[in-house]
Amino acid sequence: MRDHFSYQNPILPGFYPDPSIIRVKDVFYMINSSFQFFPGLPIHKSTDLIHWELIGEKLNTKYATYTNSPGNAICRPTQIDLNQAVTKISRAEFGEFFTAGIYAPTIRHHDGIFYIVSTNLIGREGIPSTEDFAPKNFIITSTNLEDPASFSDPIYFEFWGIDPSLLFDNNGKVYMQGSWIHGYRKKPATVIRQALIDLSTGELLSEVKDIWEGSGDKCPEGPHIYKKDGIYWLLIAEGGTHIGHKITMAKSNSVWGPYESYENNPVLTSQGKDYPIQCVGHGELVSDTEGEWWCTLLARRQHGSAYSLGRETYLVPVNWPDGEFPSFEPVELQQVVSLKSRKLPRQLLSGSLSFVPEDVQLDSLHTLRLRTPNLASVTSRSEPSKLILKATTTELGCINGSPTFVGQRQVSLEGKATVLLDIGNLPLSGHCGLSLYKDTYRHASIDIDSDKTLALAVAHKTQVFTLTGGKSIAGATYVKLIIRFTIDSYIFSYRLEEGGSWQGEQALGSVSAADFSGDDFTGTVFGVYASGDGGEAVFDSFKIVQ
């Protein structure tokens, strides 16, 4: 009889921060924040907590181009305007890049309806680093997460903060908790507040009241309340979402408090530990079908100063005795779970690991756009391997608005991204190419302009420059663009097809993964783009092997 089992962390690799999780019968559903990318609020499902797949099925290309996108709560461009999801540089010397858009969601299920609450943080062009983004909190409902048509338009509610959560109490009342923003340059910056809410209208039915200031660290946020054993257990994050991040807890006999801080806080953190898993925090508790408890949380894999994938989703086992605070196992890359004092989940061996598909196609559930896109700007013309991008004057490095861009998350520390470009179809008075994209101020691209000149173009912080340029490829028919990646670096190269034969691979240069790392909110995405005064770029066989 086995006395332990193990699984690999992170359970959702790549840019999947701020997880919230529920179980409905035998199925777990998990949702993550998405910031400036569309579709937004990706939802995965699992039967064993370890093997996850993005919900929904492929749509045919025509349908996917013009309407709903499955696998995400924000699945229609008309639902929420993301064009003000700007990035601001707070302190460039420390790598602080703060991006607006869709922040930490919470998912709940009650009486056959899924409820998702989240925040759209809104910035503006020229926003100073000292000014906070403006929060707009909303509710989205669905009766079937697999059907994109079932997701409602947002219902907004008044709350000057982020990280909203919901508690459906036994008395039939619904309580909303969140992290109220006093101002991120004030002390205290935030506090956990609560109000009664009508989910059908978004109306707050009570005064918004402070319920906990946290255990003493900065920026209490990410609250969730669980009612267990007749006690209200409040779990939050503190310390900011980077090096000082941690999970803390408090309890009360009343939903309104006062909440008693756990004497052994924090219940989980990586602060002060020399280990690749850092920034542990923003947790959510869930029980499995055997009554055993688990915690999903965010963390980043840090190798020196390189951690470009950003914040990912991890899972740890939790022991929660009746009437007592729970204890959390430390986060490990290879998480070993002892079965001496807990039951093996029945579904554990039933799943199969779902990797991101290698082919980046228009109808893939994993395909992303920037901000609120014009979906008709990218087509495939019934050829799934092709991506035909209509050039617009909006550049890849735009502060707001949506460039013509299609990509997918980097989910591995090693691999490569490749795509073929038809040299006979290029934007007018513009350019196109394959890019490694983090945000407005950090992207590196193999760029081909309308004159058929190829260059490695890099934007880093406030600088935009060309590392390698001036290579004419006018004699080629196709060019294969290649980005290889390791823990430490991204290496850019290309191959030309001339006269019906492929030439040898030519190196362009490299950038450090550390230059795409920092105290930021998002992760790296590989994508193709096109900008100019019209025309189009025709890409084929876009693959990310990782």
pLDDT at 252: 99
Listed residue (85, 81, 86, 118) closest to 101, CA to CA? 85
Question: Any idea which residue has 């006979």 for tokens?
Answer: 424
Handedness of CA 233, 235, 239, 244 (dihedral sign): positive
Which residue type is seen at 273? K
Give 360's pLDDT tier (boundaries 50, 70, 90): confident
Cα–Cα distance for residue pair 545/70, rounded to 1 Å: 23
| Six-digit token string for 513 | 């993964």
pTM above 0.75, yes or no: yes
- pLDDT tens digits for 122-146? 999 999 988 999 999 999 999 999 9
- pLDDT tens digits for 194-246? 999 999 999 999 999 999 999 999 999 999 999 999 999 999 999 999 999 99
Domain ranges in the chain are 4-338, 369-545
Give 356's pLDDT tier (boundaries 50, 70, 90): low
369-545: CATH, from 2.40.430.10, 3.10.580.10, 3.40.50.800, 2.60.120.200: 2.60.120.200
Q: Percent of the chain having pLDDT more than 70?
A: 93
Say yes or no to pLDDT of 63 above 50. Answer: no
Cα–Cα distance for residue pair 98/303, rounded to 1 Å: 22
Mean pLDDT throughout 91-117? 92
Active site residue 221: yes
pLDDT at 470: 79
Phi/psi-derived region of residue 534, left when phi > 0, alpha when psi is between -120 and 50, beta in every other case: left
Active site residue 358: no
* Catalytic residue, candidates 18, 48, 288, 515: 18
When the pLDDT of each residue in the chain is averaged and rounded to a whole number, the result is 92
Say yes or no to pLDDT of 355 above 70. Answer: no
Question: Is the separation of the CB atoms in 526 and 485 below 8 Å?
Answer: no
* Catalytic residue, candidates 48, 132, 163, 221: 221
What are the angstrom distances between the C-alpha of 451 and each of 425, 426, 433?
11, 9, 13
Q: Is the peptide bond before 10 cis (omega within 30 degrees of 0)?
A: yes
Mean pLDDT throughout 14-22? 98
- pLDDT tens digits for 387-419? 999 999 999 999 999 999 999 999 999 999 999
Could you tell me the strand order of the sheet in which 87-91 lies? Answer: 87-91, 96-99, 519-520
Domain 4-338 has CATH 2.40.30.10: no
Could you tell me the strand order of the sheet in which 190-196 lies? Answer: 161-168, 174-181, 190-196, 209-212
Say yes or no to pLDDT of 477 above 90. Answer: yes
Cα–Cα distance for residue pair 476/83, rounded to 1 Å: 37
Evaluate whether 4-338 and 369-545 have a shared fold. no
The residues that bridge with 99 in the sheet, in sequence order, are 87
